[in-house]
Structure 1
Amino acid sequence: MEDAMVTTEGSSDVRCELKARVRDHWELETCGTRYGEDHDRLAWFREIAENRIRLEPYILDFARFPEADGRQILEIGVGAGTDFEQWCRYAAHATGVDLTEAAIALTAEHLRLEGISESRFTLRTADAEALPFEDKTFDIVYSWGVLHHTPNTERAYREAYRVLKPGGVMRTMIYHIPSWTGIMLYVAHGLLKGRIALGLRSAIFNHLESPGTKAYTCAEGRRLAADVGFDSVVVTTRLGPGDLLEIKPSRRYRGWAARLAWMFYPRPLVRLLGDRFGLYLLIEGRRPAKGGGYTT
């Protein structure tokens, strides 16, 4: 069932068109905002944050926000600012970028409502494949569930390496294959529609969130980091809320078939089998203190 690696190789025009579609997708719905229902704006942002940690509690252990104390931090893909708010509370200065204007506006509003001083952060729209920062600027580069959406994920990792100071650390989450989420998408969009050759990667590429979403094996994720120069690379997998169907479904999954799937999904069995087939691939690496790796 597993197909060959799906890539976005091709002309620059093709990549630019795909990136525009990705941006348009997330301009319409910033990641995580469907979990906010309160009419009070500050309560709405806090509701999003509470649901994020409830569904993905391992973010705290992975990000390790207190380690940002006195350091320069870059978050790639700020969403509604849930993680970025934490970076702002600890870092000497936190910088956040996002491909969409919607996310930057939401994060700025979130920080203002939480009383975070504007002197503690910088926000700007930017492309992960061409970060607008000098070499060796940041102590930590962090990105959760973002870099698999950009057409050239490898270039995004090179950029993360470039802007890190020697000895700096990168922590990213991208999507993993094989995963329960990938299998469910294959069943829904491949097997049940007679498209047996669709494959897991193609199901994710065409049907998971924004168009062109990619997923990587543990070995591929390790190579993404190592090939641009990161060392001490640690790769782990985690069950995501999508693997457990604990997510709030998007509009495309609110029909009767989806309701049945949510009702009868074998969550205890998936939990029992552990994180091996989790959608989340957590990658941590360090830029060597001296020499090696990618440079401009």
Structure 2
Amino acid sequence: MRPGVYPGNKRSMSMNEAVKKHWEAETCGVRYGASEDRGEWFREIERARYLCEPQILEFAEFKKFRAKRVLEIGVGAGTDFKNWVKNGAQATGIDLTSRGTALTKERLSLEGINPNRFNLCVADSERLPFKDGVFEMVYSWGVLHHTLNTGQAIKEAYRVLKPGGIIKAMVYHIPSWTGWLLWLRFCLFKLRPWISPRKAIYGHLESPGTKAYTLEEAKELFESARFQVIEIKTSLGPGDLLNIAFSRKYSGFIYKIIGLMYPRWLVRLFGNRFGLELLLQARK
């Protein structure tokens, strides 16, 4: 199987539409917002994000890119994007959904940030609406594995980067605890053990068609887009530790029991080796 090409990549646009519909309905992280006060609602989302995934702060290095042209692919509710702007980056953000860009604009407005300090637009990562060689850094956390043709999205990131520019991306990893959990729930328990954890992720993790990569596959995927990989490693994600608020899809009683009984100590004992999150940095 060629990197970035998975079952479904040659389907009609209905897959892309299904992905967009999913994230329009539940923008990443919004399930953590409970307050009726909009400012506090966004702060709840931010606190939960960095509590569940503290590795984001170390990986992103928000302060390092002050005055640099940064593109974020997939802004979601705007938590990371706000931090690019507040730390002085010349930030541009895209999202496949209009809700993502609207929430991000609202988030920055509530922070009192002048809209002239950033750019936001609805766009597809496979067809970035920017000229060649515009940005010094491209950042994407947990987004590229959702697009129909991940390889094409990575090539687009390469195109819009200046020579020497950096991409920082998190994509999903296998083998992972999350993959095995999904395999148990949707394959083994349904008497279909021959279905792989990769396919369980593809069919049941977040939006339809979610992809996951081994370290070797991810490295090859970025190198095939002409990137020079600088660093690649794995990290435990919220789905591995089940330290998350479950989505509506997993809101039943059985999932509450699983959450209470889950052996997080055992998962942590193995370190990051089987983490869902694959963190990669590469240079153009």
Q: TM-score normalised to the size of structure 2?
A: 0.96
Contact persistence 2:32–2:44 (CA under 8 A): yes
Deviation at 1:90, TM superposition (A): 2.4
Identify which of 153, 166, 170 aligns with 2:167.
170
Aligned partners of 2:59 and 2:173: how far apart in 1?
16
Contact persistence 1:15–1:151 (CA under 8 A): no
Within 5 Å, which residues of 2 pair with 1:151-170?
151-170=148-167
User: Letter of the aligned partner of 2:254 in structure 1?
Assistant: A
Within 5 Å, which residues of 2 pair with 1:1-296?
14-287=11-284
The share of aligned pairs that are identical, in percent, is: 51
Please, what is the CA RMSD of the aligned residues? Answer: 1.6
Structure 2: runs of 5+ lacking an equivalent: none
Deviation at 1:232, TM superposition (A): 4.0
Q: Post-superposition, which runs of at least 4 consecutive aligned residues in structure 1 deviate over 4 A?
A: 4-13
Deviation at 1:9, TM superposition (A): 5.6
* Secondary structure, aligned partner of 1:261: helix
Contact persistence 1:180–1:279 (CA under 8 A): yes
* Secondary structure, aligned partner of 1:243: helix
* Secondary structure, aligned partner of 1:115: coil
* Secondary structure, aligned partner of 2:137: strand
String of CA shifts for 1:64-84, please: whole Å, max 9, x gaps: 011111111100000000000
Deviation at 1:116, TM superposition (A): 1.0
Contact persistence 1:6–1:214 (CA under 8 A): no
Contact persistence 1:73–1:91 (CA under 8 A): no
User: Letter of the aligned partner of 2:275 in structure 1?
Assistant: G
* Secondary structure, aligned partner of 1:75: strand
Contact persistence 1:145–1:173 (CA under 8 A): yes
Structure 1: runs of 5+ lacking an equivalent: 288-296
Distance change (3 Å), C-alpha of 1:11 and 1:110: closer
Aligned partners of 1:138 and 1:118: how far apart in 2?
19
* Alignment length (residue pairs): 284
* Secondary structure, aligned partner of 2:131: coil
Q: TM-score normalised to the size of structure 1?
A: 0.93
Contact persistence 1:5–1:201 (CA under 8 A): no
